[in-house]
């Protein structure tokens, strides 16, 4: 696919930016033309259309070469020979489609990574299928569809789509991409701004893994790796596609939210936006027990003895699964401040305004850590957006109960409901303020607010 620089754009132009006062879900970019590498849907398009999507995007000479190899693959009817013919065809397709493309200045080494990863994955695919007692032509057609769709996503978004090795038959539950999951991935990526996906140098790879990958034992649906050998890689665990409404799609958007957070941290402008976002619910990072003790004494007048007890309790529950911060035994509320251990550090702590953190089950992960709160807020602008209204919905139920003249509520119950309603209104107001920042300064930012982030200047959109 040819790449042409275009003006910074996501959704509509600045003059047409949607009114965020209503805080509905993000309006999606309008498609004026259909890219040959975008929006393939097997259920809708069928096998023959898919085969043409990538090939048709090549230059004439390259297209002829790829078509020649594909013709030999299509003509072969012996399953084992056809599998080998597909290997040769796919290798030619990847090398031509990826290798001949112009470099993306945001991800200068992405082409080599995609090609190398594709070669390794195909060897694993061939080994897995060759070990079957009864290899069929349908097996190869399914492989063709899935790998071609994977390549479409890689070339559209400049992200290496990889997977864990293995020979398991049940691909969707074994650390491998299924065709359905790739369709979900493609659909989700299409909803997000170009600057956060294709032109995001903090997003390099998305890998499908088993639940015990890195010894995490299914603690989380996804994981963004920040730093180290696999910097910029998102791991999608089996569990991400096994529980909840749109969990897979929300997890993808959430982990990409982490990459956006990391990118913002690279500049003073970006850090200022993060601080503004986090200050709304009062997030504070306390480096050690000394800072925690000082904060406790200044905030609530706790005695030295009580401070020691609180520190001891939080240290005793310091685990990496930061979602556990929401559990009663893993946090301490003093006055109106919630304290918890910072699971990303060995000796740090977190504090936040307890009555502003959302406490509905739907938003539980957002209150476990400031970074998780940001990533969850980002994701919910695109997937499962209705969750952001959960405090408001509960408040409406309470309003109805309090207005019911036939209700037999006791005085104490009524007082408790009124307090709960006040708390929910504060939470909803905090969500509203954070959504304004997320929509106006992060999602719809054209680069003017974080101009030093891009390696080639303000967010010059390298490709749509």
SS3 63: helix
Helix (H) or strand (E) holding 419: helix 411-437
Quick check: 163 and 121 in contact, CB under 8 A?
yes
Q: Do strands 349-353 and 284-286 pair parallel, antiparallel, or not at all (unpaired)? A: antiparallel
pLDDT at position 212 is 72
Distance CA 464, CA 461 (A): 7
| Average pLDDT along the chain | 81
**For residue 45, is pLDDT > 80?**
no
- Rounded to 10 degrees, what is the CA torsion of 64, 142, 250, 397? 130
- Confidence at 446, pLDDT banded by 50, 70, 90: low
Residue 113: name the closest of 178, 161, 148 by CA.
161
For residue 368, is pLDDT > 70? yes
Cα(314)–Cα(298) distance, integer angstroms: 19
Residue identified by tokens 């080639």 is 456
Q: Which of 219, 277, 306 is nearest to 433 (CA)?
A: 277
User: CB count, 10 Å around CB of 406?
Assistant: 4
Q: Helix, strand or coil for residue 384?
A: coil
pLDDT of residue 164: 77
The count of C-alpha atoms lying within 13 angstroms of the C-alpha of 219, restricted to the half-sphere facing its C-beta, is: 12
Q: What is the pLDDT of residues 149-195, one digit of tens each?
A: 999 999 999 999 998 765 444 444 567 899 999 999 999 999 999 99
Residues 417 and 398: beta-carbon distance below 8 Å: yes
Give residue 58's pLDDT: 64
Q: What count of residues does the chain have? A: 464
pLDDT (tens digit, 9 = 90+) per residue, 74-110? 999 999 999 999 999 999 999 998 988 888 999 989 9
What is the mean pLDDT of the segment spanning 379-390? 94
User: Rounded to whole angstroms, how far apart are CA atoms 192 and 207?
Assistant: 19
pLDDT in tens, 256-302: 999 999 999 999 999 999 999 999 999 999 999 999 999 998 887 88
Which band of pLDDT confidence, cut at 50, 70 and 90, is reported for residue 34?
very low
- What 3-state DSSP class applies to 444? coil
Mean pLDDT of 432-449: 85
Please tell me the predicted confidence (pLDDT) of residue 302: 81
Q: pLDDT at position 320, please?
A: 53
**Mean pLDDT on 9-34:** 37
Lowest mean pLDDT among 150-159, 212-221, 333-342, 391-400: 212-221
What does residue 93 show for φ and ψ, rounded to 5 degrees? -65, -45
Quick: pLDDT tens for 385-436: 999 999 999 999 999 999 987 778 899 999 999 999 999 999 999 999 999 9
How distant, in Å, are the alpha carbons of 5, 100, 107, 115, 307 from that of 202?
20, 24, 9, 20, 39
CB count in 10 Å sphere of residue 282? 18
Give the pLDDT score at 100. Answer: 83
Those residues whose C-beta lies under 8 Å from the C-beta of residue 379, and which sit 6 or more positions away, are 250, 251, 253, 254, 256, 257
What's the average model confidence in pLDDT over 368-384? 95
Q: What pLDDT is attached to residue 445? A: 75
**d(C-alpha 156, C-alpha 143), whole Å:** 20
Whether the CB-CB separation of 352 and 284 falls below 8 Å is answered with: yes
Is the pLDDT at 55 greater than 90, yes or no?
no
Check residue 35 and give its pLDDT: 30
Q: Where is mean pLDDT largest: 44-53, 125-134, 214-223, 247-256?
A: 247-256
Answer positive or negative: Cα dihedral of 398, 404, 407, 409: positive
Q: Return the pLDDT at 143.
A: 96
CA 58 – CA 71 distance, rounded (Å): 16
Tell me phi and psi for residue 99, to 5 degrees: -65, -30
pLDDT of residue 313: 87
For residues 436-441, average pLDDT:
95
């Amino acid at each position: 696919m040819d790449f042409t620089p275009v003006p910074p754009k996501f959704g509509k132009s600045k003059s047409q930016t949607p009114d965020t006062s209503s805080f509905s879900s993000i309006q999606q970019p309008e498609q004026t033309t259909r890219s040959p590498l975008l929006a393939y849907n097997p259920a809708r398009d069928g096998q023959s259309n898919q085969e043409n999507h990538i090939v048709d995007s090549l230059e004439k000479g390259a297209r002829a070469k790829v078509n020649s190899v594909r013709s030999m693959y299509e003509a072969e009817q012996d399953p084992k020979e056809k599998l080998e013919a597909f290997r040769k065809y796919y290798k030619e397709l990847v090398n031509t489609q990826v290798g001949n493309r112009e470099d993306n200045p945001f991800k200068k080494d992405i082409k080599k990574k995609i090609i190398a990863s594709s070669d390794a994955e195909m060897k694993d695919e061939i080994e897995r299928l060759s070990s079957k007692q009864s290899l069929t032509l349908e097996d190869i057609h399914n492989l063709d569809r899935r790998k071609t769709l994977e390549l479409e996503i890689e070339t559209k978004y400049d992200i290496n789509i990889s997977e864990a090795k293995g020979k398991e038959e049940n691909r969707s539950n074994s650390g491998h991409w299924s065709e359905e999951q790739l369709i979900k991935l493609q659909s989700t990526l299409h909803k997000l701004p170009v600057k956060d996906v294709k032109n995001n140098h903090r997003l390099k790879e998305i890998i499908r893994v088993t639940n015990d990958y890195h010894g995490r034992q299914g603690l989380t649906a996804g994981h963004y790796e920040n730093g180290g050998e696999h910097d910029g890689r998102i791991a999608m665990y089996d569990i991400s596609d096994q529980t909840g409404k749109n969990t897979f799609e929300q997890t993808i958007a959430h982990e990409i939210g982490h990459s956006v957070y990391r990118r913002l941290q690279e500049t003073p402008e970006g850090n200022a936006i993060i601080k503004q976002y986090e200050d709304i619910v009062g997030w504070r990072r306390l480096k050690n027990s000394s800072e925690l003790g000082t904060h406790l004494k200044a905030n609530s007048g706790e005695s030295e003895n009580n401070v020691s007890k609180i520190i001891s309790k939080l240290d005793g529950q310091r685990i990496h699964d930061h979602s556990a911060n929401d559990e009663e035994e893993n946090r301490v509320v003093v006055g109106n401040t919630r304290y918890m251990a910072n699971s990303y550090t060995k000796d740090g702590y977190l504090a936040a305004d307890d009555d502003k953190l959302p406490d509905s089950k739907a938003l539980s992960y957002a209150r476990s850590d400031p970074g998780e709160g940001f990533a969850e807020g980002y994701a919910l602008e695109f997937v499962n957006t209705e969750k952001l209204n959960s405090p408001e919905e509960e408040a409406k139920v309470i309003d109805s109960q309090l207005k019911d003249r036939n209700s037999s509520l006791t005085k104490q119950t009524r007082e408790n409901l009124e307090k709960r309603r006040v708390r929910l209104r504060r939470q909803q107001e905090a969500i509203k303020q954070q959504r304004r920042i997320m929509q106006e300064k992060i999602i719809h930012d054209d680069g003017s607010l974080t101009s030093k982030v891009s390696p080639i200047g303000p967010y010059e959109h390298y490709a749509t």
